[in-house]
Amino acid sequence: MAKKSPRYVCRDCGAVAPKWQGQCAECGEWNTLEEMTPALAVASGGRRGGYAGERAVARLAEVAADGGDATRRLATGFGEFDRVLGGGVVPGAVVLLGGDPGVGKSTLLLQVAAKLASDSGVLYVTGEESVQQVAARARRLGVGDAGLTLLAETGVEAIIATASAERAGVLVVDSMQTLVAENQTGAPGAVAQLRECVGALTRCAKSTGTAVFVVGHVTKEGTIAGPRVVEHMVDTVLYFESDPGSRYSLVRAVKNRFGAASEMGMFSMQHDGFHEVTNPSAIFLSRDSRPVAGSLVTVTWEGSRPLLIEVQALVADALGHPRRLAQGLDQNRLSLLLAVLQRHGGLSMAGEDVFVNVVGGIRIHETAGDLPALLASVSSFRDRPLDQRLVAFGELGLAGEVRPVRYGEERLREAAKQGFTRAIVPKANRPRRAIEGLEVPSVTHLEQALDAAFS
């Protein structure tokens, strides 16, 4: 048999090149191509991996009528984690959980695995710790007596064989950067190893119905280490986010084949591990009891639920070149909003430093934060506090018009539930029926919003 020539794979985008070159032709990144030796074909009809035999074709209508395991979900015991997954763990799904070192990925998955062990066989594989270290951590978390099976192993073939022998319904692998495939060269964490190992785990999950959780480390750029093709191979990609100065952590879905993307779950770290936060809005609304200029609450939409958060602004005389700084909002968007305010609101901040911050480390990815960011900036500029029981949301156009946003009525009901009594919203988002205890002045232009907020 002729020797196969090596190929080169981009560790960022997964593109394959026949020879090494300094720049990836697909993504344009430099020095990202790494050598990958092609895996040899195996028996069973030339299929790689050999985990799934020949499959019979099936008619779509019959499969949909039959239901199958795809409609059955396993509850993790954490309502917030189930929300991020789309309602629970789907058998045969592959979930990639990424996050910074020390953020709590292993701790959370150990707690999830312990709860799942009561309903399904769980194999917890560690490539970074010994089984004694995992057991000690489990005892600290109060789950030392859970029916988990532990395995300290890095060989993907041995892991799959053990999962099959144990008939595990859930497989947890910590982490993918430690895995090694026998038919691949290179150190653990190399592009070829990551592609082959994650691919083997994916084929195993689809053929056996085993749900697989894989831990991935995050680079300094904030992305999961390894080629992006790994994220394309799995069913769900979750990011674990945590502010070092806060005891609260967020798990955010950026990809989910079985649920809504951009869904968010919140957890609090305590002495006995993570606890879910069922009412995140209450956390972000711990404001100063006194009216303070430059503060306003808005209602943003995270995944499938509304979330009330505080937007703060500080406008001060510029000592040199005026600065525009936004945390939690797009900085370029802030400059655009200030230009709209000058042209259509009759108020110029050209000689002022403008700083805008979204409290709690939350980032607003939608345009509903336009109106509250601008109202908070005007409040700070005029040194006039806004009503503590006021909320606002809406998108601003370049002509000064206030445009509607999605799920307006749901946002208003959440605000009323949290005790707010007044809401400035776009006219198209005005509720069809009055909401008890909530006054809703609707506006169509920026001037009307300013009058409603400061009258």
- To the question of domain 283-454 being in CATH 3.30.230.10, the answer is yes
Q: What's the half-sphere exposure (Cβ side, CA atoms, 13 Å) at 214?
A: 33
Q: Residues 258, 236: contact at Cβ < 8 Å?
A: yes
- Does 291 have pLDDT greater than 80? yes
Q: Which residue has the higher pLDDT, 304 or 335?
A: 335
Q: Which two tokens stand for residue 376?
A: 């908070």
The pairing of strands 390-392 and 422-426 is parallel
Mean pLDDT over residues 111-132, rounded? 94
How confident is the model at residue 4, as a pLDDT?
Answer: 58
Q: Residues 74, 116: contact at Cβ < 8 Å?
A: yes
- 1-59 pLDDT, tens digit per residue, is 455 567 788 877 777 888 888 998 888 888 888 777 554 333 333 444 444 445 578 78
The structure's pTM equals 0.78
The separation between CA 288 and the C-alpha centre of its own chain, rounded to angstroms, equals 29
Mean pLDDT over residues 201-230, rounded? 82
Rounded to an integer, what distance in angstroms lies between the CA atom of residue 94 and that of residue 78? 18
- Which one of 3.30.230.70, 3.40.50.300, 3.30.1330.30, 3.50.50.60 gives the CATH number of domain 73-278? 3.40.50.300
Percent share of the chain, pLDDT over 70:
89
- 141-180 pLDDT, tens digit per residue, is 999 999 999 999 999 999 999 999 999 999 999 989 999 9
Q: Which residue has the tokens 């305590």?
A: 270
DSSP 28: -
Rounded to an integer, what distance in angstroms lies between the CA atom of residue 94 and that of residue 114? 18
Mean pLDDT over residues 231-247, rounded? 84
Rounded to an integer, what distance in angstroms lies between the CA atom of residue 95 and that of residue 149? 19
Q: Which two tokens stand for residue 116?
A: 């799942």
Q: Is 142 left (phi over 0), alpha (psi -120 to 50) or beta?
A: left
Of the listed ranges 12-26, 386-400, 433-447, the one predicted with least confidence: 12-26
- 53-76 pLDDT, tens digit per residue, is 455 787 877 776 545 455 689 999
Mean pLDDT over residues 316-344, rounded? 94
The 3-state DSSP class for residue 20 equals: coil
Amino acid at residue number 288 = D
DSSP 53: -
Q: 262 Cβ partners below 8 Å, 6+ apart?
A: 252, 253, 254, 302, 303, 365
